[in-house]
């Protein structure tokens, strides 16, 4: 197992972390390992989200290239669908 030495920790921070470890019934080393593992999990999740977002953007861009240039804008299609639905709800009036 590796050894990590941390220097120049501000005294107030050291005391607060030491107190937290004691309140949790942990050693300072155990608490620091837990914090490092949590940081690693969060960074890993962040990388996965970023990769997923890149994939989503690539998929959107690929679909955009497939969409015909003369096709109506999505907002216009939605507006027409809503207007048609309103006419149907009003009994065709």
Tell me the two tokens of residue 37.
Answer: 């593992």
Q: For residue 89, is pLDDT > 90? A: no
Is this model's pTM higher than 0.85 or not? no
In which band, very low, low, confident or very high, does the pLDDT at 92 lie, cut at 50, 70 and 90?
low
DSSP state, residue 70: T
Q: Which residue has the higher pLDDT, 59 or 46?
A: 46
The pLDDT value given to residue 65: 73
Q: For residue 93, is pLDDT > 70? A: no
DSSP state, residue 90: T
| C-alpha dihedral (59, 61, 65, 66), degrees to nearest 10 | 30
DSSP state, residue 83: H
Average pLDDT over residues 3-29: 96
> What residue spans define the domains of the chain?
11-89
């Amino acid at each position: 197992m590796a050894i990590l030495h941390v220097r120049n920790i501000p005294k107030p921070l050291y005391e607060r972390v030491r107190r937290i470890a004691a309140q949790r019934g942990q050693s300072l080393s155990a608490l620091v390992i837990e914090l490092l593992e949590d940081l690693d999990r969060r960074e890993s999740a962040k990388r996965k989200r970023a990769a997923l977002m890149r994939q989503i953007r690539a998929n959107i861009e690929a679909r955009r290239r497939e969409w015909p240039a003369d096709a109506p804008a999505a907002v216009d299609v939605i507006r027409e669908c809503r207007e048609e639905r309103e006419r149907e709800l009003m009994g065709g009036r």
